[in-house]
Structure 1
């Protein structure tokens, strides 16, 4: 496994130094409900299933800061390395490579602009496209967002790759940041529209906004002190939910 160090949270099971055991992986906090139900395959993922059958799956992860891993205390505790490790645990015998091409602050426009060259360079079976959060926070009109979304779809379809869309995150309801207060209804509506579009065109969808609604027992709902970027527990939960649902769809 290339990401053996990519473990969400670790603990030492030891009663004394003489009896100390090696650190064991704890894939997600107990407060995080891990279920495959948040991934809808929508009839897609055929190329990825073929890759799994052949023992090699390459994934290109595109999007903004949560793909990049901003907010994690270490690079190996971000979403991408944790997803890679989580998939390899669930797909024994399959070499999984997840290429991190997240850039903080991107909207759907910037990601769609980059898709052709990143797909050509990475030659993935599956493209993960996390989108929507920054478009909402920047008050981009929905028509503009969908124009860029569909421009990206054209690139993805021409490349013949599978697609997993990841919808917006949920923000803390008690945020004091005036830029974030009251944004969850718009983020939820954008998630709903992404889900409908994924079903229409046959892209898999990871319902992140919905999943985060169940993280009520996580400190700050899995979001860090800036009320935007995920903390280590949030990344661990998100990666495990994604790996569980995606692996189930690929078996």
Structure 2
């Protein structure tokens, strides 16, 4: 399994949580966090990621709180960050961003402004952060809103990577990872050419769980 996870720091709060036997993660973002496209809720990203982490972190009670809302942009998510962190008291926040910003043709400068506002909130909260960049769209899509969007998705993915490094936030390179999913049905994307299918969610959850567990230094290899 290729490593598409970059820690960019020590993930100290998550390490301490693992040592205590209880890790709480807040998952923020849009429809792929919420789980749109999965045939059953338990086959979407958050449940699979939670189970994958627990297999790799023996003896640790992992809780992943799903607060994804379909259609959100980075601006929308930033508006919810502070109250959701206060309510969930997470050790680590997953922030999936970028796809809807590209599909809505939002200026990059606006997205980066939103990111910096969100980063300030996250830093004040003292939580670890894992950024997840956009998904890749099918090159053969017939949906006019999705045609030839991958270059822009790739560009914003690169900016997320750079911002993650500068902010010492971990990054999962989902866009790059999906280039290797040719063996999956429809490349891991459902019939609407946007939301992931069961195979896509399974692969995404596996690389995220393996990457985070390895970064925490306690990974146990399993078959996914």
TM-score range, shorter chain: over 0.9
State the match for 1:173 in structure 2.
139
Is 2:38 aligned against 1:72? Answer: yes
The residue matched to 1:213 in structure 2 has which SS? helix
State the match for 1:9 in structure 2.
none
Q: TM-score, normalised by structure 2?
A: 0.96
Separation of aligned partners in 1, 2:91 and 2:138: 34
Unaligned runs of 5+ in 2: 218-224
CA contact (8 A) 1:105 1:134 kept: yes
Is 2:162 aligned against 1:216? Answer: no
Is 2:107 aligned against 1:144? Answer: no
State the match for 2:220 in structure 1.
none
Separation of aligned partners in 2, 1:219 and 1:88: 27
Is 2:8 aligned against 1:47? Answer: no
1:101 to 50, 67, 71: 67
Separation of aligned partners in 1, 2:72 and 2:117: 15
Separation of aligned partners in 1, 2:15 and 2:132: 19
State the match for 1:88 in structure 2.
54
Unaligned runs of 5+ in 1: 1-33
1:122 CA displacement: 0.2
1:219 CA displacement: 1.1
Separation of aligned partners in 2, 1:44 and 1:99: 22
Separation of aligned partners in 1, 2:52 and 2:60: 12
State the match for 2:90 in structure 1.
124
The CA RMSD over aligned residues, in Å, is 0.6
State the match for 2:154 in structure 1.
188
Q: Following superposition, which runs of at least 4 residues in structure 1 exceed 2 angstroms of deviation?
A: none
The residue matched to 2:191 in structure 1 has which SS? coil
- Structure of larger gyration radius: 1
Q: Residue deviations 1:146-197, cap 9 Å, x none?
A: 1111100010000000000000100001101110000000000100000000
CA contact (8 A) 1:44 1:203 kept: no
Separation of aligned partners in 2, 1:235 and 1:45: 24
State the match for 1:204 in structure 2.
170
1:235 to 201, 209, 213: 201
Separation of aligned partners in 2, 1:213 and 1:204: 20
